């Protein structure tokens, strides 16, 4: 079997062509607003402003697809993979942790119903991530709701998906995700304490994600690398120094790739082999120097870079990087 789906990056100007491409099943668009628009293509606006082109992440598949809605989730799936998205508006009545718990419960329900029990990759976006609300930072509140929902589910730590959780600058909780029929393989980073084992000082319930997930689709290999930051052990390092945080983050991403190579024979040879890298930057004024350095580090692969304005889940972290290897 070859890869069931592909990812490509495009400038905004190509939007109208892509939305009419019969193989495109989802477009993730960076811009000011949050929203989910349903049509032949699932259009996901995540509320992260782009700091450069390209701004469109385009998911394509040659497989025959089924589209549907379940509770608040819009989805599209083939025989082999599932893509879904949920957007919830924060009202007066439910806390962020309760909303997150509900969202993850719905995700569980739809995956149970359609027969895709293995979450592989998840993205979570919501505003004011570092703000305190009812005595708890909103990121920690999100982690609490996610943890509780996954606890009720069958989840064991070794099955946790790769994930990213970022602060957007638009209203609403948006979660989009991929799932499969069979589980992938967890990849952790020996330089970092596993996020699901972070000590209590970072919140009442630990963040439920794997550093990366390796998934084979027959002969094709995928490596999903979670949001990665300047953390060594469980501590943030290089506080106040964006360039040193960038170097440390790249070191962490490289080590995760090396782990995937040595544990599972993943053919990804390094950063330059990734199909995409998404960089989240807390302060837009840091973007230029970060991008200049990435241009040097990545060479030709710099064209696979998406750069957006987003808040990282710890106040002192200035940037975060995620990526995909899809062959």
Catalytic positions:
320
How many residues bind ligand 3EB (CB under 6 A)? The answer is: 12
Sign of the alpha-carbon torsion through 231, 160, 71, 116: positive
159 counts as binding ligand 3EB under rule CB under 6 A: no
Question: According to the binding rule CB under 6 A, does residue 207 interact with ligand 3EB?
Answer: yes
Examine residue 313 and tell whether it contacts ligand 3EB (CB under 6 A): yes
**Cα radius of gyration (the chain):** 18
**CB neighbours (10 Å) of residue 172?**
20
Q: Answer yes or no whether residue 164 interacts with ligand 3EB by CB under 6 A.
A: yes
Minimum distance from residue 162 beta carbon to ligand 3EB (Å): 8
- How remote is the C-alpha of 61 from its chain's centroid? 19
Within 10 angstroms of residue 327's Cβ, the number of other Cβ atoms is 16
Q: Which residue has the closest beta carbon to ligand 3EB?
A: 227
> Closer CB to ligand 3EB, residue 56 or residue 163?
163
Q: Contact, 78 vs 64, CB < 8 A?
A: yes
Please name which of 32, 25, 30 lies closest in space to residue 59, comparing C-alpha atoms: 25
Binding test (CB under 6 A) with ligand 3EB, winner from 227, 242, 310, 323 = 227
Binding-site string for ligand 3EB from residue 32 to residue 61, where x marks contact by CB under 6 A and - marks none: ------------------------------
Stretch that binds ligand 3EB, among 30-38, 94-102, 163-171, 266-274 (CB under 6 A): 163-171
CB of 229 to ligand 3EB, least distance (A): 4
> Which range in 157-165, 180-188, 272-280, 295-303 contacts ligand 3EB by CB under 6 A?
157-165
Of the candidate spans 48-56, 68-76, 160-168, 264-272, the one that interacts with ligand 3EB by CB under 6 A turns out to be: 160-168
- Quick check: bond before 160 cis, omega within 30? no
Q: How far apart are CA 137 and CA 160, in angstroms?
A: 23
User: Applying CB under 6 A, which of residues 43, 159, 160, 229 lies at the interface with ligand 3EB?
Assistant: 229
Burial category of 156 from C-beta neighbours within 10 Å (exposed 0-12, middle 13-18, buried 19 and up): exposed
> Least distance (Å) from ligand 3EB to the CB of residue 296?
24
Among residues 50 and 207, whose Cβ is nearest to ligand 3EB? 207
Residue 83 or 209: the one with the smaller Cβ distance to ligand 3EB is: 209
Residue 195 binding ligand 3EB, by CB under 6 A:
yes
Burial of 169: CB neighbours in 10 Å, binned 0-12, 13-18, 19+: middle
Instruction: Say how far apart CA 232 and CA 158 lie, in whole Å.
Output: 21
Measured over the CA atoms of residue 120, residue 123, residue 129 and residue 130, the dihedral's sign is positive
């Amino acid at each position: 079997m070859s890869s069931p789906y592909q990812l490509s990056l495009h400038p905004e100007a190509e939007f109208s062509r892509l939305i009419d491409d019969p193989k495109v099943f989802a477009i993730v668009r960076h811009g000011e607003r949050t929203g989910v628009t349903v049509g032949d293509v699932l259009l996901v606006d995540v509320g992260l402003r782009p700091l450069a082109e390209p701004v469109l992440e385009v998911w394509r598949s040659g497989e025959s697809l089924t589209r549907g809605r379940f509770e608040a989730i819009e989805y599209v799936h083939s025989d082999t993979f599932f893509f879904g998205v949920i957007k919830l508006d924060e009202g007066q009545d439910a806390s962020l942790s309760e909303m997150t718990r509900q969202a993850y419960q719905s995700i569980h329900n739809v995956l149970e119903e359609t027969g895709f029990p293995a979450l592989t990759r998840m993205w979570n976006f919501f505003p004011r991530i570092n703000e305190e609300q009812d005595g708890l930072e909103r990121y920690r509140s999100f982690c609490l709701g996610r943890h509780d929902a996954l606890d009720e589910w069958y989840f064991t730590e070794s099955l946790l998906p790769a994930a990213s959780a970022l602060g957007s600058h638009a209203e609403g909780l948006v979660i989009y995700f991929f799932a499969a029929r069979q589980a992938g393989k967890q990849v952790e980073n020996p330089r970092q304490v596993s996020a699901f084992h972070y000590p209590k000082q970072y919140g009442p319930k630990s963040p439920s994600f794997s550093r990366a997930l390796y998934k084979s689709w027959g002969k094709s290999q995928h490596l999903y690398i979670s949001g990665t930051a300047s953390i060594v052990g469980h501590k943030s390092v290089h506080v106040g120094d964006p360039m040193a945080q960038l170097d440390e983050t790249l070191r962490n991403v490289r080590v995760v790739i090396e782990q995937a190579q040595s544990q599972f024979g993943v053919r990804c040879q390094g950063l330059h082999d990734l199909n995409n890298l998404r960089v989240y930057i807390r302060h837009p004024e840091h973007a230029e120097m970060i991008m200049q350095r990435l241009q040097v580090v990545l060479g030709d692969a710099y064209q696979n870079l998406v750069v957006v304005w987003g808040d990282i889940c710890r106040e002192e972290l200035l940037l975060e990087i995620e990526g995909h290897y899809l062959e």
